[in-house]
Chain A
Amino acid sequence: MKVLSEERTRILFEKLTKYIGVNVKLLIDRPDGTYCFREKKDRVYYISERLLHLAQTVKPDNLIAAGTCFGKFTKTNKFRLHITALTYIAPYAPYKIWVKPSAEQQFLYGHHIIKSGLGRITENTPKHHGVVVHTMSDIPIGFGVAARTTAECRHADPLATIVFHQADVGEYIRSEDTLT
């Protein structure tokens, strides 16, 4: 568990801002204690300071995870947000998209969302901004990147991709081993 380097912090926050905008600061300034980002084996954990102190008593080799894993840094030093970060991203995300029940399964298998599966979408969603995907019953099931703005969606072809898939909760089953 080491502190993130300056550069990595910047990359991480840039990425997070893509999804939750200015709400990033809510992750840092919390009323219930200080939280921080720590890195372990290229994976970034979001963890309460109190928990961190306790976790640091465990030998690094034996420590599997602590707090919430947000994602990992790739070999090219880019940050990939994992589905495990959904717990924190979903409530803060300004742009959301709701998919029809028929398209739920498709998305959960790792496909992009096409126009026909689009149930609802937040107004003014800009292009290439992170969006959180919900079911029609408001259950967050993943996130992705908006391929079109809301306005463009209206006139899009039924088979046109609206959201590029980034992560979905189906990964808990599909790739449990690589989550952390």
Chain B
Amino acid sequence: MGRKAKFDETKKVKKGPGRKARKQPDPVFKKELLEDDTVEKKLTHRQKQRAAKRAKKKAELAEKRKALKQAKKNVAKQIEVADEDAENSSDEETTPGYTDDNKEWLKPKQKNKKEQKSKVEKSDSESEEEDDSGHEDEEDDEGSEEADSEDESPAKKKAGGEKYKVGTLDDLFKDSDNEENGDVSSEDEGAGGKLDYDSDSSGRGKDSDDDDDDDEMLPIEKANIKLKKKQKADKKLADEELQLNIAKQDVFAFPSEEELNNPASLQDVYQRIKDVVTVLGDFSRLKEEGRSRCEYTDLLLKDLCTYYSYNEFLMEVLLQIFPVQELVEFLEASEVARPVTIRTNSLKTRRRDLAQALINRGVNLDPVGKWSKVGLVVYSSTVPIGATPEYLAGHYILQGASSFLPVMALAPQENERILDMCAAPGGKASHIAAIMKNTGTLFANDANKERTKAVVGNFHRLGVVNAVITNHDGREFPDVMKGFDRVLLDAPCTGTGVIAKDPSVKTTKDQKDIQRCFNIQRQLLLAAIDCCTAKSSTGGYIVYSTCSILPEENEWVVNYALKRRNVKLVPTGLDFGTEGFVKYRHHRFHPSLKLTRRFYPHTHNMDGFFVAKFKKFSNVIPEPFKDEDDEETDPNSTEKPKENGDAQSDEEKTEAGNKKQAPVKRSAPSDSAQPQKKKAKPNKPQTKPESKPQSTNNAQPNENNNQKKKKNRKNKKKQQNVEKSNDEQVTTPTSISNEKPATPNTPQSPGSKKKKNKNKLKVVAPNSTSTENTVTTTTPQSPGNKKNKNAPSVPEKANNDDSTSKPPQSKTDTAQTNQSPNKKKKKNKKNKGNKEQQGANPQPQAVNKNENKVTEQVAVAASKKLKNKLNKNKKQIGQINPNKDKISAKGQAAGKKFKKNK
């Protein structure tokens, strides 16, 4: 049978259950839709209102556009009538113009008339001429047509300079009208008619120029003018008032004694803070006569102390760190807690998985930023974020965003030995372990035994298995163990960066506390540097961080360490944060302190933090010497050194120190230390550009010269001495330790002993071990020296030292086997190299020493000369291998082959 086609309308398809029922029925149109469109429907009241509004808007737009054009033309003012005409006119120029003569044939709607009238009356405009209602109407409607008349002819545009204002005023007027009697209907219907007369009236511009009599003015226009005048006056008044207000604000009245003594509400204090900050922002203009800046800052200080409830000392210190505007921001930010951040434990999970798991638990979180791949910010949570099963299973740890930074700066590598000196509660240390992927060794030390329990708990929870947790005073740690590849020192501090966490800092800290803190910090930092080894092939880095923002605890401590140990600052590897201070009050720090990073709560939305990264380039501990900082280390002396940062005195002192201690120094270093120093020398050029800007002050160049000469002389002496010592092998480890009163370097001494022996072997009867050493030393050197003299060559050095100090490893073994055929040649070269080294050694040694003690200019100058001298030697050293290769028969043969091939 098939389907029953519905060929004719008469047949009806059966309805009911079954397939047919599921079929989509024929469309049913509503009655309204089927109705003929041609029939005009009466608009509802709302529709009308809407239409009226739409029209009005359109008109407004058009008028504005027109007005803009007109404003551009900037023609002299015109009579209102002309303006109106121009506005009303449409773009069709050809249609007959509107004049007073032909205005009669504009038939306004009678319906509108009355309403219009009433409108006009309501809006306190004088409707004098009732018979002109048509014009009123026209006025009223004009807006709706303006859309058409956008393309004004230039002539019309000329028509009035003040058109803009008028137009807008009209609009306002009308607006109010329409709102008042919203039932103004038939605006839409009238559109056609209006269009008509609009088109007619176009081109009136020509006429308007002619008939500019006041008599012609329509009542509504008069009203307009009046209104305009009135508004102008109002505006003028308002402006004056505004000016007055501004003037009032400008002059900040310095509060009287009484006012100060009787503090009003906190709001007033806050207002005063704001005022003073603005005054201080433009002091010369806004200050009160006879008031000094001091008075203002004192007032500000007091107010800030009362408003934010700090003690005066801390506020004073903060005032010196920040400009006033920033200070207020900082204080505000310190009131608000930072967002809770968590760190994903990459040992157990991935951030995405963790985020998903936490979101499922009803936690609202986001990645902390592009700079970290493990951080998550928690905005809100329905469960306690520190007690979820994920937390307990060790998938994350609660950790401030700022705590990621020192670890990121430390950049731990796998299979390194790393020390976290102040580890509790183990957040940063576990981060280190996670980055190392549980390889290598992590020492987590903390001085507080109670707090080490937290470290234990966290480590086990997070699955850190490569850690040793110890409880030592950090300052004594070098006695326990040394030779770490990297050391992280997150020193105890006053906590001025984490005031939001611990508001008690605001009131409890004073000068004594700060002093106590930075003394400990200095000792800890020196200990940390001592724990680190410069010989590490991958590391030799120390990161110093605090959660304080005081320069006393940060830059000053770093500067102190720079002077006392063979370390230099390197970029932290953090691409944000503000640079550390180079100048702070009377302090002038080492220019490389630019490389340190500061983080503030108000700019980075994390706790206030400081991060500095050192690279250790020599294990030798320079002679201790007294300088202004040492005096400061006495916690009882509160006065600040006056000549701190005075380069000259510094130099003199170091000079003296050099003279005294020169012989001691010479004998101390072993052969192992010598190559280091030689290579440490290329570090000099690095510091050069930094120190140059410094040399601009006072008459140092002369001094430099003198010192250079002296140094050269000294160096020569030293050279002789060292040669002697090397030849005779007089120096023994014991003598070293005796001669070096500064903390005997325990691991070094045996190493140096070894090396000396080796040295002897080399000279007397070079056997396999000696060559092995030399081979390893020379090979990495050559490219390094050639390539980057400016770059820190410490890693190479470290390689060498490793190979010498450690029991023969596979590396050195292979080196040995590789080089064995070349041994003899190398022996010769070695001797040469030895001589060179001996010749060269004393100089870098001196440089090395100087680097720590003498200010940069001197060192740089000296290093320049030395470098020139050494350059030849170095090249030779570097060329040993390539030459060898070339000389080797193989190479020659190959060369011949090459030629043949050609």
- Residues in chain A within 8 A of chain B (CB atoms): 48, 50-51, 54-55, 57-59, 62-69, 83-84, 87, 104, 108, 135, 137, 139-141, 168-170, 172-173, 176-177, 179-180
Contacts and interface: CB of A to CB of B under 8 A. Distances in A.
A51 B417 CA distance: 10
B263 to A, nearest CB: 46
A99 B454 CA distance: 28
Interface string B79-123: 000000000000000000000000000000000000000000000
A50 to B, nearest CB: 7
B389 A169 contact: yes
Interface of B: 357, 386-387, 389-390, 392-395, 417, 441, 443, 449, 452-457, 459-461, 463, 465-472, 480-481
Given A168-B392, A170-B392, 7 more contacts: A54-B443, A63-B469, A64-B456, A65-B456, A87-B463, A108-B389, A135-B389
Contact residues of A: prevailing secondary structure = mixed
Contact of A54 (B394, B460, B481): B481
A66 B389 contact: no
A82 B434 CA distance: 23
B457 A63 contact: no
A65 B455 CA distance: 10
A128 to B, nearest CB: 26
Contacts of B389: 104, 108, 135, 139, 141, 169
Q: Which of A48, A65, A139 has the most CB of B within 10 A?
A: A65
B453 A176 contact: yes
Nearest to B473: A62
B456 A68 contact: no
Contact of A176 (B357, B387, B457): B457
Max count, chain A CB within 10 A of own CB: residue among B389, B417, B456, B466: B389
Contacts of A179: 453, 456-457, 460
B882 to A, nearest CB: 38
Contacts of A48: 465-466
Contacts of A173: 386-387, 392
A110 B472 CA distance: 35
A64 B393 contact: no
A35 B379 CA distance: 43
B441 A140 contact: no
A176 B454 contact: yes
B141 to A, nearest CB: 71
A139 B467 CA distance: 23
Contacts of A172: 392, 457, 460-461
A139 B459 CA distance: 17
Contacts of A108: 389, 392
Contacts of B393: 139-141, 169
A89 B429 CA distance: 24
Contact of A65 (B392, B395, B469, B480): B469
A51 B468 contact: yes
Nearest to A180: B456
Contact of A64 (B394, B417, B471): B471
10 contacts: A48-B466, A54-B443, A62-B470, A63-B469, A64-B449, A69-B460, A108-B392, A169-B393, A173-B392, A176-B457
Contacts of A57: 480-481
A62 B480 CA distance: 10
Contacts of B456: 64-65, 69, 179-180
B460 A137 contact: no
Given A68-B460, A108-B392, A172-B457, A58 B441 contact: no
Contacts of A84: 460
B455 A64 contact: yes
Contact of A51 (B386, B441, B457, B472): B441
B392 A68 contact: no
5 smallest A-B Cβ distances: which pairs?
A169-B392, A84-B460, A64-B469, A66-B468, A176-B457
Contacts of A177: 453
A139 B463 CA distance: 13
B114 to A, nearest CB: 76
